[in-house]
Structure 1
Amino acid sequence: MSKGTVLVAGSNANRIEIRGGGTGPTGQYLNELVVPVMALVDAGYDIVFATPNGSKPHIDPASDKAVHFDDEAAYRQARAFFDTSPVLNKVSTLRALIETGLDRYDGFFTPGGQAPVVDLMQDGDLGEILRFFHVQARPTAFLCHGPIASVAALPRAKEFRAALIAGETVRAAALGNGWQYAGYKMTVYSRSEEKPIEEQILHGKLYFDMPSALTIAGAQVNTGPDFAPHVVEDREMITGQNPRSDHPLARALIAALDRRRIKPNASHTASAEKVSP
């Protein structure tokens, strides 16, 4: 018997803007999507997968490697799961899930890779979904670059992102007023972790870094050592810093979902910060 249903929101982006014009390749990170989803399925939770346009996310080639997994066998299992599992190959639109009702979902998860920086952080449908989960205090998890998608909950998320790209931090801060997650403790991919990607893959710099963007919106950002597992929990929100945080974030999300099954309103009172390795 299913223990509940988790809404997993993916990105459709495969290019990201870089300073000076042009774009670089991007996508979702394979392990950041598949490892938590497989853990949720193994724990007894059903998955409903959705993206803005209803097509399957593009996997960033930089993530399609065994180095991001425990070993070669784990990588091959994850790749096969992404390629063939019905869980990740039946994709809805975010709008369709809203129209059929959000109350059926017990939790929410968005993985990283830089792709959410392009579309999810300014997607109005995702914003509506996140506002629902916030009001209901249902477990809401984001991994790596994924936490930037939380700013979609802003009424003027598109303008907020445009202000960041333009370097208009004062305007961005004003547009961030009233953000549902203002004051929340969270983590996200750090500026120093981003640097190798900019230098070796994008060959250019992003218009803004993730910790600064979330801080401008009103978050209390806490980043740990580069490329080491780091998860922060505050109230209903669970955030993981980087690809190495895939397993710890999955464990934290499953624990939060299990607590909610026992005590449905537990997230309302879980306001203290928890940092887990």
Structure 2
Amino acid sequence: MTKGKVLVIGSNATRIEVQGGWGDTGQYLNETVVPAMALIDAGYDIVLATPDGTQPHIDAASDSAAHFEGDQAAYERARNFFDTDPSMTNVRTLRQVINEGLDQFAGVFVPGGQAPVVDLMQSAEVGEILRHFHEKAKPTALLCHGPIAVVAAMEQAPAFRAALIAGDLKKAEELAKGWPYAGYRMTIFSITEEKVVEDQILHAKMFFDMPEALHAAGGDVITTPIDFDPHVIIDRELITGQNPRSDHPIAKALIDALDARAV
């Protein structure tokens, strides 16, 4: 018998604004499937939902054994899981899961890759979902760039994002007033980690840094000084992981929080 359902919120973005144009983006494979597979192994059901109800695009930069500690067999299992498992292929729209009732879910998880910076952080549906989990104090886990999605819980998320792109931090701070996660301790992909992606993958600079964005929103942002070191922060119901190598630790933290709440 299942312990309960966990909602996984995916992105549909395939392109991201960068200074001077656009770059390819998507969700990271390991960040999506490692926690999902761990949740299933722990006895939870997974429901994947995205803005348009189609499966997320996997960022090519993550589609290799390198993100599974060089373990080719682990990579192949993960890729097969994403491509064929019903929990990954039977995708709902965010509006459908809202209309069907969010009380059915024990927790929520948002994986990273840069894609959430494009659509999830300014999605009204994501905002509605996160406010529900915040108000009910249900485990809310977000990984790598995924924590930027908590911006969606503010009333004027699209305007906040636009202010960040314009470099107007003062305006962004004004727009963030009343944000439900103000004062929460949290982590996200660091400035120095982002520079690696900018230099080696995007070959362009992002319009804003992730820690800067969450700080402007009112978050107490803490990143590890060692790039790509696993790092997870838990504050009340919020569980955030800093980078791709935090995939296993955040899965454990989320499962622990779900199990504790179920007792």
* TM-score (normalizing by structure 2): 0.99
**Where does the alignment leave 5 or more consecutive residues of structure 2 unmatched?**
none
Counterparts of 1:216-231 in structure 2, within 5 Å, are 216-224=216-224, 225-231=226-232
* Aligned residue type for 2:205: K
Deviation at 1:115, TM superposition (A): 0.1
* Aligned residue type for 1:237: L
Counterparts of 1:156-167 in structure 2, within 5 Å, are 156-167=156-167
Q: CA RMSD in A?
A: 0.5
Identity of aligned residues (%): 65
* Aligned residue type for 1:159: A
* TM-score (normalizing by structure 1): 0.94
Instruction: State the partner residue of 1:269.
Output: none
Instruction: State the partner residue of 1:244.
Output: 245
Counterparts of 1:96-245 in structure 2, within 5 Å, are 96-224=96-224, 225-245=226-246
Deviations 1:166-186 (A, max 9, x none): 011100000011000000000
**Where does the alignment leave 5 or more consecutive residues of structure 1 unmatched?**
263-277
2:194 and 2:14 mapped to 1: Cα distance?
17
Query: Helix, strand or coil for the counterpart of 1:103?
Result: helix
2:76 and 2:201 mapped to 1: Cα distance?
24
Deviation at 1:215, TM superposition (A): 0.3
The number of residue pairs the alignment matches comes to 261
Deviation at 1:198, TM superposition (A): 0.7
1:85 and 1:97 mapped to 2: Cα distance?
19
1:168 and 1:229 mapped to 2: Cα distance?
31
Instruction: State the partner residue of 2:29.
Output: 30
Deviations 1:181-220 (A, max 9, x none): 0000000000000111111211110000100000000000
**Runs of at least 4 residues off by over 2 Å:** none
1:186 and 1:260 mapped to 2: Cα distance?
21
2:196 and 2:147 mapped to 1: Cα distance?
20
Query: Helix, strand or coil for the counterpart of 2:105?
Result: coil
Query: Helix, strand or coil for the counterpart of 1:5?
Result: strand
Matched, 1:256 2:223: no
Deviations 1:39-92 (A, max 9, x none): 000000001110000010000000001011041110010000001000100000
